[in-house]
Amino acid sequence: MSIAEEVNCLRRIPLFANIDTSKLKLLAFTSERLSFRAGDVLFQQDEMGTCAYILLRGEAEVVVTGPGGPLAVATLGSNEIVGEIAILCDVPRTATVRARTDLETLCVPKDHFLQMIADFPQMGLEIMRSLAHRLEQTTMRLREVLAAQAT
């Protein structure tokens, strides 16, 4: 997959929908392509994060380890971004992310990501929207799981 295709992929992510093609190209060029096999861990909960991942192809699951053991809270597919929380606010990873299938990702280092947000405020807004959406989904899922445990 060449940069041009990666840019097409990025374009489909709402976060980057309104960004200049040349900037997306720059983002792709300065990011590392990483592939994972099914079952590989992208990152572990509680580690410090250095990059966010953009899923190009394949699926990944988000697992939270709580007092009750590991709990799968979400599944992510292509054109989604994951791991941006830890690099946005300098906290340890809030969950473990594992490849469910063979996975192609673009690994965006923290400093590049923050630079992009600073350069393009539109991106910041999109991130806010996407985070809010994600939070809502996670909460719903957690409620379901708790309800299932209670019965």
Partner 1 sequence: MESSIFRFILRHSVRQQIVLTLMTLASFPFLYASLDLPKRIVNEAIAGKKLPESFLGFHLDQVSYLFVLCGLFLTLVLVNGGFKYVINTYKGRLGERMLRRLRYELYVRVLRFPLPRFRKMSPGEIIPMITAEVEPLGGFIGDAIAIPVFQGGTLLVYIAFIFIQDPVLGAAAVSLYPFQGWLIPRLQRKVNQLGKQRVRAMRQIADRIGETVSGIQEVHTHDTASWHLADLSHRLGDVYRIRFEIYQRKFFVKFLNNFINQLTPFFFYSIGGYLVIHGQLSFGALVAVLAAYKDLAAPWKELLDWYQQKEDNRIKYEQVVEQFHVPDLLAERLLREEEDVPFTGALAFRNVGFGEDGGSAILEGVTCDIPLDGHTALIGVGSGRDELAQLAARVLLPSSGQIRLGERDYAELPESVTGRRAAYVGATPYLFAASLYDNLVYGLRHRPLRENGESGEAAARRKDRQTESILSGNATDDVHADWIDYAAAGCDGPEDLKARILRVVTMVSLQDDVYGMGLNRTVDPEQRPEVAARVLEAREAMRAMMMNNPDLGRLVERFDPDRYAANATLAENLLFGTPVGPIFQTDALASNPYMLHVLDKVGLTGTILETGHKVAETMVELFAGLPPGHEFFERFSFIGFAELPDYQAILARTAKEGLGALRPEERTRLMTLPFKLIGARHRLGLMTPELERKLLEARHLFARDLPEDLKHAVAFFDPAAYNAAASIQDNILFGRMVYGQAQVQSKVGRIVAELVDQLHLRDTIVEVGLDHPVGVAGSRLSAAQRQKAALARALLKRPDLLVLSEATSGLDTSSQTKVHAAILGERKGCGLVWVLHRAGLARAFERVIVMKDGRIAEHGRFDELNKPGTLLHELVSAE
Q: Which residues in this chain contact partner 1 in the complex, by CB under 8 A?
A: 1-4, 6, 22, 25-26, 28-30, 32-36, 40, 42, 111
Tokens of 19: 């960004």
Q: Quick one: 50 or 75, whose CB is closer to partner 1? A: 50
Helix (H, G, I), strand (E, B) or coil at 139: helix
Smallest separation, CB 126 to partner 1 (Å):
21
DSSP state of 62: E
Smallest separation, CB 78 to partner 1 (Å):
17
Q: Quick one: 63 or 103, whose CB is closer to partner 1? A: 103
The answer to whether the beta carbons of residues 19 and 120 sit under 8 Å apart is yes
Smallest separation, CB 28 to partner 1 (Å):
8
The answer to whether the beta carbons of residues 92 and 49 sit under 8 Å apart is yes
Q: Quick one: 21 or 65, whose CB is closer to partner 1? A: 21
Helix (H, G, I), strand (E, B) or coil at 65: strand
Tokens of 56: 């190009």
Smallest separation, CB 99 to partner 1 (Å):
9
